[in-house]
Amino acid sequence: MVKNIAYIGDSESVKGFSAVGIDTVVCNDTEDAAVVLKNVSDKDKYAVIYMTEELFEAALKEVSRHSGQTIPAVIPLPGAKGNTGVGSKRLSAFVEQAVGSDILFK
């Protein structure tokens, strides 16, 4: 079965992603972020789910449910409101875990 890519974000952030073939899901309220992520990930349709960093932080409990799985990969991206640093911190932690030292940002 072919798996797709989804992007969950506010209405301003998702603009343009559908033009490149990514399924977009609008979520304008951080309180709904966990429910939206659960609904999207439970469809077993997506290999990668991108989320704005703001929504990613709001849905950390639901995100952690996927941390031991390879599919779907839930990845934070900066949204239209700007970069919160969540993605960079997460990448840094992964590199440090794999290599034993933060070779990217130090």
Output the pTM of the full model. 0.81
pLDDT, one tens digit per residue, over 27-58 is 999 999 999 999 999 888 999 999 999 999 99
* Cα–Cα nearest to 5, from 26, 27, 21: 21
CB 77 within 8 A of CB 51: yes
CATH for the stretch 4-80: 3.40.50.10580
Give the pLDDT confidence score for residue 16 in this predicted structure.
86
Helix segments in 15-75, DSSP class H: 33-41, 53-58, 60-64
CB 51 within 8 A of CB 10: no
DSSP state, residue 82: B
Domain ranges of the chain: 4-80
